[in-house]
Amino acid sequence: MTLMGKSNPLGGGICAYVPGTVLFDGSSGASAALSLKKGLYYIRAQGAGAGGGNCGYYGTGGGGGSGAGFEGNIYISTNQNNINCYAGIAEEANRKNGEASYIGELMNFGGGTVGGSDNPTPGSGGILTISEDIKIISYQVKSDGNPGNKTTGGSGTRGGADSVLTKSGAGIAGGSFAERCASAPGAGGAGGKQWDSNGGYGKYGELKIQYLKPKP
């Protein structure tokens, strides 16, 4: 997976890897221990979305929050060895919080928080944490997760939160169970509705790390 480059066709020194090498590209529990050498990397990642809260006969369940996300180029100024990389799982049992995705202690893409159970409180979005050892060169997305969506009707359910990377995928409020489940990675599920109590599932997280070149 990690091919060592003997020269740098883009200029500026010896490549740690062949430019364009994808060191990690996984989702839903995928993991690896990597050595990230000094250089410029493209990162696309988000934590898992949370499930919508369950409800009772007369209550409503809150919508689940989405995972924090980042898409852009970063520079790692010193070699980082044996870095644990992980793409978070969307916990379905009992509508738990979504798991974080992470690149060791360098970047953490927090998972969304599950919506309220038998109450309309929406879940919060995951928190993005970036170490001072990382220099951000450019980005398209750099965001905490979205909170579960609100509704105006007291008897209505709350929709889940859209993915911050794709701006899509939230579970649909008041829909069938399948519609209440998130449809895009990182998105949150909608809460359960009256007489149909199960909140929808959140969707798994993802992580991609691609080496670009030795220097920005």
Residue 10 lies in a domain: no
Domain that holds residue 179: 22-213
**What pLDDT score was predicted for residue 1?**
33
Element (H, E) at 45: strand 39-46
State the 10-residue block means of pLDDT for the chain, 216 residues long. Answer: 36 69 97 95 98 76 94 95 96 82 98 87 95 96 93 60 96 86 95 79 97 94
Q: Is 13 a member of any domain?
A: no
Q: How far is CA 163 from CA 40, 50, 58, 138, in A?
A: 26, 11, 29, 20
142 in a structural domain:
yes
pLDDT given for residue 15 in this prediction = 65
Structural domain contains residue 50: yes
What pLDDT, on a 0 to 100 scale, did the predictor assign at position 116?
84
Q: Could you give the C-alpha distances from 71 to 54, 121, 206, in angstroms and in order? A: 32, 29, 11
**Maximum Cα–Cα distance across the chain:** 67
The per-residue pLDDT for 12 is: 41
Residues 6+ apart with CB under 8 A from 132: none
Going from the C-alpha of 46 to that of each of 4, 168, 196, 202, the distances in angstroms are 28, 13, 30, 13
What is this structure's pTM?
0.89
Residue 122 lies in a domain: yes
SS percent in the chain: helix, strand, coil, step 5: 5, 30, 65
Look at the block and give the residue holding tokens 């919060």.
Answer: 124
User: Total domain count for the chain?
Assistant: 1
| 124 within a domain of the structure (yes/no) | yes
**Beta strands 31-36 and 107-109: pairing type?**
unpaired
Helix (H), strand (E) at residue 179: helix 177-180
Spell out the alpha helix ranges (H) of 47-105. none
Residue 209 lies in a domain: yes
Residue 5 belongs to some domain of the structure? no
